[in-house]
Amino acid sequence: MRIIADQSRCIGAGHCIRTAPDLFDADDDTGLVVVAEGELDPSRAGDVREAARLCPNAAIRLHDT
Amino acid sequence: MTTVDGDQAVVHDFPMRRRCPFAPPDEYARLRAHGPLARVRLPSGQLAWVVTRHEEVRQVLADPRISTDLTRPGFPQMRPVPEPEPPRLHEGEFFNMDPPEHGVYRRMLIPEFSAKRIKALRPGVQAMIDRLVDALLAAGPPADLAESFALPVPSLGICQLLGVPYEDHQFFQSRIRSRKMVASDAIRVAIGEVRAYIGDLVTRAENSPGDDLLGRLVTERRATGEVSRDAVVGMVLQLLIAAHETTANMILLGVLSLLRHPEQLAELRADPALWPGAVEELLRYHAVADGPAFARLAVADVEVGDQVIGAGEGVIALCASANHDERAYERPGELDIHRGARNHLAFGYGVHQCLGQNLARAWLAISYETLFRRVPALRPAAEVDALPFKYDAAIFGLDELPVTW
């Protein structure tokens, strides 16, 4: 599974970063969401779902493969 | 008061008044039990919808067919005498713009309020708050916590963010405190003065840009022609207005609420790591920015539950009601710092969710933690019933909070 973050929807609220600072970050220049690359440890799926649930503009989802 | 309109729907008068300073208006629970939407009549005489439940408030505030553009005809107005013409927006006042225009301005400011940037600002915020507590302690009890602490936190905090020179702080603070002004003419004069002063700050930043929000806006956005000078002024003015009453009143109400829950306050004193969760719960519990702050207009038909908000109808999100929705929170009327209330809607929802929320969280957490640590005997100097709560203000709170220690 992977984290999908849509910067075009990001409004910089920061809920994802507060939920899982090791998985989400704000780009230095734009302030928009950036995510940890690559395969997500399945034990972290709950944190990503929580970040997705809190995001006020549906910018985050969990890609289940 | 309730009346019945043409199609026999019950119409309630709005806004509804809080009766208890620690709870939303009583009517909200009844409206919420009845359904996610209710019909209301505004002071302007207009009819509008209110949204009462957590899930539906999220739905409506995230819907692109729900506009915040108050220049649209039919936009819900709270004034008893409606303006003869729709209000005009000044350039850069992006809170009242819809996407995609809204995003153009918001994106210029997002990096200034990112979680990372705010973390870097925290030592400066702590130092500013420590100086306010130093002065409070030096003057000795009693004190008005509004005047001596809660109002200066956002005004000095904004000075730090904008790079307002220290010698201007007094002027800046006195001009942006509109809390005692009730006449709209007086507010217009005060806002005009602040607008002119922000113009001066922009000029100063153009001549010697600092390493601050205004310096970056001027060098990175203004100089490149991305944004006009008037728009920079409009953006900054909206930041000021949004930051002020909300923060000051949350500080005062939060202090009162924690003093009313000494067992939870004792836990916080023993374990400062609990503060972030406590701040979320206080934001949920008090929800100082409620209905009128979340007025919208439907630009197309929007289904909510089994009803339809019609194109051209006003809609008002009751965020205080959503924050006390039994469907979202157990025992919503109780303050519980362990609740994990991170999904509260005190900052709204959707693309307009509060831009400054990370800064607000830092201001609140540092204010509460520092006050209760350095003034351990802090307590109100009057009975709660005798305190001047602002039952009729757009942002709920207190005019004064006499305290002693």
Question: pLDDT by residue (tens digit) across B269-286?
Answer: 999 999 999 999 999 999
Selected for mutation to probe chain A from B107, B110, B119 (highest A CB count within 10 Å) is B110
Residue type, B311: A
User: Are B15 and B45 contacting, i.e. CB atoms less than 8 angstroms apart?
Assistant: no
Q: What is the pLDDT of residues A6-46, one digit of tens each?
A: 999 999 999 999 999 999 999 999 999 999 888 999 999 99
Which residue does chain A place closest to B349, by CA atoms?
A56
Confidence band of B179 (pLDDT split at 50, 70, 90): very low
Cβ of A53 and B353 within 8 Å?
A: no
Residue B350, pLDDT score: 98
| Residues of chain A by 3-state class (helix, strand, coil), percent to 5 | 30, 20, 50
Evaluate if residue B308 carries a pLDDT over 90: yes
Burial class from Cβ neighbours inside 10 Å (0-12, 13-18, 19+) for residue B241 reads middle
Q: What is the pLDDT of residues B7-54, one digit of tens each?
A: 557 999 999 999 999 999 999 999 999 999 999 999 999 999 999 999
Which residue does chain B place closest to A52, by CA atoms?
B343
Evaluate if residue B123 carries a pLDDT over 90: yes
Which residue does chain A place closest to B276, by CA atoms?
A18
Residues B174, B106: Cα–Cα separation, whole Å: 27
Cβ of A18 and B351 within 8 Å?
A: no
Global pTM?
0.95
* E strand segments, B113-207: 143-144
Residue B7, pLDDT score: 55
B112 interface with A at CB cutoff 8 Å: yes
Residue B385, pLDDT score: 93
B32 interface with A at CB cutoff 8 Å: no
Confidence band of B182 (pLDDT split at 50, 70, 90): very low
- Region B189-198: mean pLDDT is 84
Confidence band of B164 (pLDDT split at 50, 70, 90): confident
Q: What is the pLDDT of residues B52-81, one digit of tens each?
A: 999 999 999 999 999 999 999 999 988 877
> B37-41 and B10-13: which strand pairing?
parallel
State both tokens at A3: 């984290």
Q: Which of residues 8-37 of A touch B (CB under 8 A)?
A: 10-15, 17-19, 25-32
Residue B170, pLDDT score: 80
Q: What is the pLDDT of residues B85-94, one digit of tens each?
A: 777 888 999 9
Evaluate if residue B267 carries a pLDDT over 60: yes
Interface size A-B, in CB pairs within 8 Å, comes to 63
**Helix locations, chain A, DSSP H:** 15-19, 45-54
Q: Least CB-CB distance to A56: which of B106, B276, B349?
A: B349
Evaluate if residue B359 carries a pLDDT over 50: yes
Confidence band of B3 (pLDDT split at 50, 70, 90): low
